[in-house]
Chains A and B, each alone.
Chain A
Amino acid sequence: MTSFPILFEQIVNGLVLGSMYALVASGLTLIWGTMKMLNFAHGELYMLGGFGLFFGVSYFHLAPWMAVPIVLLVIFILAALLEKGLISPMLGRPDWDVGAIVVTLGIGIFVQNFAFKFWGGDFQEVPYMISGTTSFLNITLAWHRIYILSLAVIVLVAFWQLMKRTRFGLALRATAQDIEAATLMGISYRRVYMATFGISASLAALAGTALAPIFSVNPWMGSGPLIKAFIVVILGGLGSFAGAILGGFIIGISESLSVLFLGSGWKDLICFALLIAVLMIRPSGLFGGKEW
């Protein structure tokens, strides 16, 4: 029988991982909600976040807490330009659904191999945001993990407030519901799409910067979280923000518990099986069909 502290640590690990899946997945679900496309380059934006932090810290000698906002800003601008240049020419075309998938796949392949060619395939180390551990009641916790958890809560709450309270959120939700009516109200849907893509990319990049010290930085670090984030958004219901958060924690905790009970080789099996089981019971995911 596993002792309680180990079980508790694994649950905390699951929460940490789950909170980051929730960040990556809410970016995906945001793009689906507004633009009705699956972004297969999302994992590469996560990877760029990790590399951004690495360059900021080791080349520009910035403190990590300063590097992160700069990285997010750069990724936001980059993603908005990417949307403007490569995604928006596809808008309104009849092959939008599959065509957009292939375009984002192509962008992903390009970015991944660009990183491999120019930044190398080595595993790069990034310092912790806050180093050291704390312990209480026989349980040891790394400060960095506490930082990740609180960061996720703050960002997700802020994001939710942005959607519900601000004029931008209103414009975004209006565009998601009815693009023509929104245009008649004076909303430029192209600008909304650019901002949506940028925000979604920044969420992925933030998760990348947060997890980079735990799993080191390399050109392929995005593919795992990408598949997990897809599983999360489908599990939670595409387009549902609550679904992405709940799904993220479900997948994160089930993953870390299955490492404990099944071993790390089989851990991915559980979340895929979980997805299929949920889809057999609820074909539109846990929160599918609900608007946020």
Chain B
Amino acid sequence: MKNETYQDRLLKTFRAANPCLMWAFFVVLAILPLVVKSEYYLSVMIICLIYATLAVSWNLMVGYAGILSFGHQAFYGLGAYFSAIMTMELHLSPWIGIPLGGCFAALLSFVIGFPCLRLRIAPYIAIATLAFSEILLVICKNWVSLTRGEMGLSGIPPLRDFSLFGLFPVVFSGGAKVPYYYVMLSIFFITLLFIYFQTSSRVGLAFKAMREEQDAAASLGVNITRYKLIAFLTGSFFAGVTGAFYAHYVSILAPDAVFGMGEMVEIVAITLIGGIGTFFGPILGAFVLVIGLEALRGLADYRLMIYGAVMVILIIVMPNGLLAGFNHLLEKARNFGMFRKARN
């Protein structure tokens, strides 16, 4: 159907998202460390969760609010560097550093968001935000006294141990992955909950109106400036929190690891391949892509070639992402044989 718009398709895939499977997926995530004992698999899962959170927060800006930002890695890096420097220089607890990292990223998102408010054509916003993150990369590489430049920060303190309800000690030192997994999972779930409630409220409606037709939305009383800034603020806050977690998790930071364009490419690819503008698509995309890339590690130099090729093929073959493709298959299976429901 050629007359069907992008948004129609998005709505369809959103409706078609299967809530039972989604909940099952979340439950599996919650009990995973009880089953999987391998530190390696857990570390892969933590990376999955990091990219899922980044993709979900990017999707809020692009898929829901229609702001084609290519500077999401800037917020990720800002959160990471801010929390790392705060905890190293001022000896703050990383537990305070992580939300502060998010707040700092959100604060700076005003600086990035403000010049973008007047830009109407998507590529202008994309390149302007990309330019901002490149500026931050240059600053990060050259402000050696603060960030140690290309050498990178090392020895970022790990999360502090605490005891749950005064009974169960939670130990982060010593490299155990399980506590980190649960911290990242909590950040992921909080992000999902916040974005779920935000997008199903009036704000979400305003986002959708803005995405579809900015002038029409404005004429109906949607304050475009306000909602664009809200989208920037929310997206950047969660990216910043994720970045701050990442800094304390890996304990070393280099400019290119967080501010580099490669991060952006990964976030965009994950969201597009999973299904942009859908709730579950970016999550699915993150797990498929990160695990897939990890599985290809044995192929050494061919790995990134395959990654590029798969990216191209998936986008061409599955226009609405894996989620829609998956739902399409599910629909077919349901209409087949004994699974067919009696419909009027």
Contacts and interface: CB of A to CB of B under 8 A. Distances in A.
B127 A234 contact: yes
Contacts of B130: 227, 230
Residue with the greatest number of chain A CB neighbours at <10 A, chosen from B9, B138, B141, B308: B308
B128 A95 contact: no
A275 B128 contact: yes
Contacts of A230: 127, 130
Nearest to B119: A283
B336 to A, nearest CB: 28
Contacts of A32: 123
A94 B9 contact: yes
A238 B125 CA distance: 12
A92 B2 contact: yes
Nearest to A105: B265
Interface stretch (A96-104, A124-132, A178-186): A96-104
Given A230-B130, A275-B131, A109 B304 contact: yes
A233 B123 CA distance: 10
Residue with the greatest number of chain B CB neighbours at <10 A, chosen from A105, A108, A116, A231: A105
Given A103-B312, A114-B305, A265 B142 contact: yes
B308 A113 contact: yes
Interface in A65-120: 86, 89-90, 92-95, 97-99, 101-103, 105-114, 116-117
A285 B120 CA distance: 12
B82 to A, nearest CB: 20
B276 A98 contact: yes
A106 B315 contact: yes
Nearest to A223: B261
Contacts of B134: 227, 268, 272
Contacts of B312: 86, 103, 106-107, 110
Nearest to A93: B319
Residue with the greatest number of chain A CB neighbours at <10 A, chosen from B131, B301, B304: B131
Contact of B268 (A89, A95, A101): A101
A248 B292 CA distance: 40
B69 to A, nearest CB: 12
Contacts of A111: 308
Nearest to B139: A269
Nearest to A109: B308
B120 A109 contact: no
Contacts of A102: 268-269, 272-273, 311, 315
B46 interface: no
A234 B304 CA distance: 29
Contact of A108 (B115, B119, B141, B308): B308
Contact of B308 (A90, A93, A106, A231): A106
Nearest to A36: B123
B6 A234 contact: no
Contacts of A280: 115, 118
A267 to B, nearest CB: 9
Contacts of B276: 95, 98
Nearest to A87: B316
B92 interface: no
B122 interface: yes
A279 interface: yes
Interface in A33-66: 38
B131 A276 contact: yes
Contacts of A123: none
Interface in A206-253: 223, 227, 230-231, 233-234, 238
Given A99-B315, A110-B309, 20 more contacts: A89-B316, A90-B316, A92-B2, A93-B319, A95-B6, A95-B272, A101-B126, A102-B268, A103-B311, A108-B308, A112-B304, A113-B304, A117-B302, A227-B134, A233-B127, A265-B142, A275-B127, A275-B128, A279-B124, A285-B124
Interface of A: 32, 38, 86, 89-90, 92-95, 97-99, 101-103, 105-114, 116-117, 223, 227, 230-231, 233-234, 238, 265-266, 268-269, 272-273, 275-276, 279-280, 283-285
Which 8 A-B residue pairs are closest in the complex by CB-CB distance? A110-B308, A109-B308, A106-B311, A94-B6, A106-B312, A113-B304, A272-B131, A283-B118
